Amino acid sequence: MKTRRIIKLSLVVASMSFAGASFAGGASGAMLGNTCAGCHGTNGNSLGPATPSIAGISKDYFVDTMQAYKKGERPATIMTRIAKGYSDGDIKQMATFFAGIKFKSGAQKADLAAAKRGKKIHKKYCEKCHENGGTSSEDDAGILAGQWKPYLQYTMADFQAGREMPKKMKKKMKALHKKKGDKGLNDLFEFYASRK
Amino acid sequence: MNKINRRSFIKTTTAVAATSTMATFSPFAIGGATKKVVIVGGGIGGVTAAKYIKMLDSKVDVTVIEPNKNYYTCFMSNEVLSGHRSIDSIRFGYDGLKKRGVNIVHDAVNAIDAKGQVVKTAGGKSFAYDRCIVSPGIDFKWDTIGGYDANVAESIPHAYKAGPQTVTLRKQLESMKDGGVFLMCPPPNPFRCPPGPYERASQIASYFKAKKPKSKILILDPKDKFSKFGLFMDGWKRHYGYGTDNSIIKWVKGAEGGKIESVDPKTKTVQGEMDPFKADVINIIPAQKAGKIAFVAGLTNDKGWCPIEGKTFESKKHKNIHVIGDSAVASPMPKSGYAANSQAKVCAAAVVALLNGGKTPHPSYVNTCYSVIAPGDGISVAMVYDYKDGKIVKVKGSGGLTGKYDKKTRAREEQYAHSWFNNITNDIFG
């Protein structure tokens, strides 16, 4: 885990020199990123109820996600159509733009009793990669804490329907679902929704 | 010199004469330290531009001139008509802009002196500018339908500028007897929000289906096809029995008698090319053109819309004036709220660069437009645009429509439609 992070960090530093300037003739990260605001909120912090916030996520996670949409490898309603509008350079620009903005938790209701159970489930099954209670975007983990609940539900449903996931995640998910069932997953969503 | 140019020339010369006296009274007109932007119109385009100019450069002095205290979004107003949403939920004010240091003036602009760079209001005030952004939305071509005008529209609403008329139309639908006929006449192209009339029909059909199942919707359309055509047809079949004898919706295309000539408000009858149609509630959405001030300021072409340069949205008719939103000719972008919001950001970045003597940035634009056909059935169209060889162009391979019906996907699209509304309105007014 630790070594992986060090490698990732050095890669990020190496690519930083490209981050500020726009590619020759292309649009800047802010220009590109501002077009997302109508659905994902100003600067990528969504007011929900379903569209996810994309501020503060790691550059690699952003790039991987957009590339997966672009290639049609990740299921989506609209993002597979939109991601095709951007070059690899554009996507890197946007990734840098959103990685530089602080993620804000969505103001949503949560079942606190379920959230309490969900906290334990998170610790046991998810914390190792989604660190600090799911607030971390390090190691290319998606930010879970404070993310909009319907989005978390949709994403989980897609994973269960066969969307590709990291090997470790697949193993953990299987174990979680076997032991705690759908209720356990719901407790987990409530935990993330309750995080401010 | 064509008609419009001659008129605007006369306007301009008289305005110049007037400003030479006005200038001495304006404390802001002296010196060049603070750059001034005056924005005409407090709708989607104008408010977004004001906010993003302030976000990019808080030192720019920004004034928005708008007669109304509140703005009602046209998008989601169809959900007010169906009773799924309150009118208050689509009402927005200007406190967000005030907090950002934008001056809000509630007055009507009645002249723009392009040479003297001054905006003048009905209230007798003058506002000097370095750059002016005009975002007046649409106006109606009242003379295209006999018997229909702004007064008649109070009782036979267009409800295509959301607000009081949205409430009027909702009340009329609520008080209509079960078994009544709602008649809608959409406009010819081009017009604001191309899927709007058809989402409206869908929303009202969902209301009838739930509350007044014997009622019918008749659409008399001058066109033979419309936006998201296949998706609407498919949705109407699924939810409203379209194509059967029991269909809630009947759509008559232009080639088959959908064009209308006149309306008689007393008998609630619309005269088609061949037949008269009587209805209980009538909604006429007339043909459209750029907002009035665009004509007054000489910003329009012979088709009644404002030609612009796609990188900056600067008018092709007058320097230092930019036109964004429904009034602008920004094709291939549609006349939509998302397009206006996106154009405003490109324009804001260009204006800030020009004010500071910098190079205008390479633009990027998006349109994303949702329609809700029935509860749990949302659809969308999207497109990414780039700027190439002096033109706004679609990015090849991007965008397009929602795919074939899938219950799970459509339910998500409805949730994303409502998220879209929350986020875009906050991106504008927040």
Which domains are delineated in chain B?
A: 6-137+291-429 (3.50.50.60), 146-284 (3.50.50.60)
Confidence check: pLDDT of B9 > 80: no
Per-residue pLDDT band for A138 (boundaries 50, 70, 90) equals confident
Percent of chain A with pLDDT over 90: 83
Q: Is the dihedral of CA B205, B207, B210, B211 positive or negative?
A: negative
Chain-chain contact of A35 with B345 (C-beta, under 8 angstroms): yes
Question: What is d(CA A95, CA A97) in angstroms, rounded to the nearest whole number?
Answer: 5
Q: Model pTM?
A: 0.91
Say which residue, B68 or B17, is predicted with more confidence: B68
User: What average pLDDT does this structure show over B255-272?
Assistant: 97
pLDDT attached to residue A21: 44
Cβ contact B384–A154 (<8 Å): no
Return the pLDDT at B274: 86
The one-letter code for the residue type at B48 is: T
Interface check for A80 against chain B (CB to CB < 8 A): the answer is no
How far off is chain B from A84, nearest CA to CA, in Å? 5
Q: Which residues of A touch B402 (CB under 8 A)?
A: 77-78
| pLDDT-above-70 percentage for chain A | 87
Q: What is the pLDDT of residue A12?
A: 42
- How far does CA B353 lie from the centroid of its chain? 27
**Mean pLDDT of chain A, nearest integer:** 89
The per-residue pLDDT for range B185-217, each reduced to its tens digit, is 999 999 999 999 999 999 999 999 999 999 999
Are B94 and B64 contacting, i.e. CB atoms less than 8 angstroms apart? yes
Bridge partners of residue B425, in order along the sequence = none
Domains of chain A listed by start with CATH number = 27-99 (1.10.760.10), 112-194 (1.10.760.10)
Tell me whether residues B420 and A85 touch, CB distance under 8 A: no
How confident is the model over B6-16, as a mean pLDDT? 43
Smallest CA–CA separation between A102 and chain B, in Å? 16
Burial label, B383 (beta-carbon count in 10 A; 0-12, 13-18, 19+): buried
CB contact under 8 A, A47 and B349: no
Among chain A residues, CA nearest to B384: A85
